[in-house]
Amino acid sequence: DTAVSQTPKYLVTQMGNDKSIKCEQNLGHDTMYWYKQDSKKFLKIMFSYNNKELIINETVPNRFSPKSPDKAHLNLHINSLELGDSAVYFCASREAGELFFGEGSRLTVL
C-alpha cells in the first residue's frame, strides 16, 4: 500500500504552460507539505497545510498555488512555468514530527 502517492512521476512541458501535481496520503495524517528539491539535491519547504488550512507559505512565487480539498489531498498548481521551476517536487505528510515522503514528481521545463 502506497502511503503518500504523487502523480505524475515525470512531467515535461514547455515554458509558459500551466501544470498540476497531485498528492494523496492514506495515513490519516492532518499535516501535509510540498518540498522542492533542486539539481544540487537541496530540499526547501514550499507550503504546509494542516487539516485543509494553509499554515506555512514560504517565499514562493505566486505562480505556485497549493490546494487541499480535504486533509488526505494536497495538490500543487503551477502557472506560467519557467525554466527555473525544473526540479523534483516532493509531497509529504507528518506524524509526531516525522515526515513521510512521496516518491517525487520530476518536472522538466523546456
Residues near other proteins, by CB under 8 A? 4, 31, 40-45, 48, 56, 90, 92, 94, 97-104
Least Å from the CB of residue 41 to other proteins: 5
Distances (CA, A) of 89 to 32, 33, 40, 96: 13, 10, 13, 23
Cβ closer to other proteins: 15 or 51?
Answer: 51
Tell which residue, 79, 104, 84, 81, has the closest CA to residue 92: 104
Cβ closer to other proteins: 9 or 15?
Answer: 9
Cβ closer to other proteins: 1 or 98?
Answer: 98
Please state the length of the chain.
110
Least Å from the CB of residue 69 to other proteins: 21
Q: 91 and 23 in contact (C-beta within 8 Å)?
A: yes
